[in-house]
Amino acid sequence: MLKIKNVSKTFNLGTINEKKALKNINLTLEDGDFVTIIGGNGAGKSTLMNMVAGVYPIDCGHIYLDDDDISLDPEYKRASRIGHVFQDPMMGTAADMSIQENLAMAARRGQRRGLSWGVKKSELDDYKKELKKLGLGLETRMTSKVGLLSGGQRQAITLLMATLTKPKVLLLDEHTAALDPATSSKVLMLTNKIVDEMHLTTMMVTHNMQDAIDVGNRLIMMYDGQIIYDVKGEEKKKLTVNDLLKKFEEASGSEFVNDRMLLG
């Protein structure tokens, strides 16, 4: 269970650039919940993910993972239990390292590094099996440098790395946004498959309204640092993009503005 309790975050406090990015956020995800997050420009979506990952410290409130209060834990300490995939396929992988080295690095996340950095044969077999599941033929390119792969292949590897040691929470921050539409839907399909098979508790920011409706069991909409709409189950399944736009206008009194938002 992930519990976000009374969490706020203000950037540049006391300056003319002061920005209240999150205002008293309360959100509880049960194990296996898959929540999609939408909202206009600057609504606080990425900040919310970054607070959970520990990229920045929170100003007040608490974040609990199961019964542990992780509010003060630094990002590196949370990383063994929280997988984080970003929009930029270049961010999650090391370009100069091979696919198998990247996977080995991910498998050792949160562990003490010993002297033996070698990858065992049994590990390689495991990686090959996992790569095969992606259906991209990458299992035949285990020693290729990741920098030689396409954006979609790289993002698929990043996804695998983020989930290799089953995380308690998976954070996906517009992880398909930089990909072409066909590759984006392939990576989204893979995401669904991995989340489903591993029963992962997942938060996914997306600028694609239809994806937000189709994927996951819960949807939240953010505006001006707050959660203004939270829907799950059957009610979510019945939503249309028009419903979401209407909800946004009702709750915020303004038009939905996100320069990257896809309505269909």
Q: Which tokens belong to 199?
A: 């029963």
Instruction: Give, to the nearest 10 degrees, the angle between helix 121-134 and helix 151-163.
Output: 120
In degrees, rounded to 5, the angle at the alpha carbon of residue 138 between the alpha carbons of residues 124 and 175 is 105
Query: Looking at beta carbons only, is 36 or 47 nearer to ligand ATP?
Result: 47
Question: Structure tokens of 115?
Answer: 């002297």
Q: Which of 8, 192, 210, 258 touches ligand ATP by CB under 6 A? A: 258
> How far is the C-alpha of 73 from the C-alpha of 52, rounded, in Å?
10
- For ligand ATP, which is the closer residue by CB, 49 or 131? 49
Total of residues contacting ligand ATP (CB under 6 A) = 13
Shortest approach of ligand ATP to residue 45 CB, angstroms?
3
DSSP conformation class of 147: G
CB 114 → ligand ATP: shortest distance, Å?
35
Using CB under 6 A as the criterion, what x/- string covers residues 4-43 for binding ligand ATP? -------xx------x-x-----------------x-xxx
Fill in the DSSP letter of residue 264: -
- Site mask, ligand ATP, residues 44-73, x = CB under 6 A? xxxx--------------------------
For ligand ATP, give the closer residue by CB, 41 or 242.
41
C-alpha 97/C-alpha 166 separation (Å) is 23
Within 52-206, strands assigned E span: 60-65, 68-69, 82-85, 169-173, 201-205
User: Nearer Cβ to ligand ATP, position 30 or 249?
Assistant: 249
**Least separation in angstroms between CB 17 and ligand ATP:** 7
Question: Between 12 and 150, whose beta carbon lies closer to ligand ATP?
Answer: 12
Residue 21: name the closest of 260, 218, 222, 251 by CA.
222
Minimum distance, C-beta of residue 73 to ligand ATP, in the bound complex (Å)? 19
Q: At residue 242, what is the residue type? A: N
Binding site for ligand ATP (CB under 6 A): 11-12, 19, 21, 39, 41-47, 258
